[in-house]
Amino acid sequence: MSPEDRITATGTILTAPVDEVCVVRMANGHCVISHPARQRSFDFTALCVGDSVTIEMTPYDMSQGRIISKVNIL
């Protein structure tokens, strides 16, 4: 799959990260099971409930995603 096919969206973490998996609710109300990207897994402990994150999904399975960054809201 090419990078152009990936879908990115912003959402809020609903459940506390357990075994590097958490549930993220997007703006449209859809919930996605997400895990951190490999390069981000060392910083996974910094994620907690209520954080805004950017997730990346494939168009083939919109129920799962990868957390690629944490959105800093000032």
Question: 21 has which bridge partners?
Answer: 18
Distance separating the N- and C-terminal Cα atoms of the chain: 35
* CA–CA gap between residue 49 and residue 6 (Å, rounded): 25
**Nearest Cα to 55, choosing from 44, 68, 43?**
68
Which pLDDT score, from 0 to 100, does residue 32 have?
95
Q: Is 39 helix (H, G, I), strand (E, B) or coil?
A: helix
Which pLDDT score, from 0 to 100, does residue 71 have?
84
pTM exceeding 0.75: yes
Question: 74 has which bridge partners?
Answer: none
- Higher pLDDT: 1 or 66? It is 66
Q: CA 39, 47, 17 angle in degrees (round to 5)?
A: 95
Residue 4 scores a pLDDT above 80? no
Per-residue pLDDT of 20-53, as tens digits, reads: 899 999 989 999 999 888 765 555 567 889 999 9
Which pLDDT score, from 0 to 100, does residue 2 have?
67
Q: Per CATH, which fold does 3-70 belong to?
A: OB fold (Dihydrolipoamide Acetyltransferase, E2P) (2.40.50)
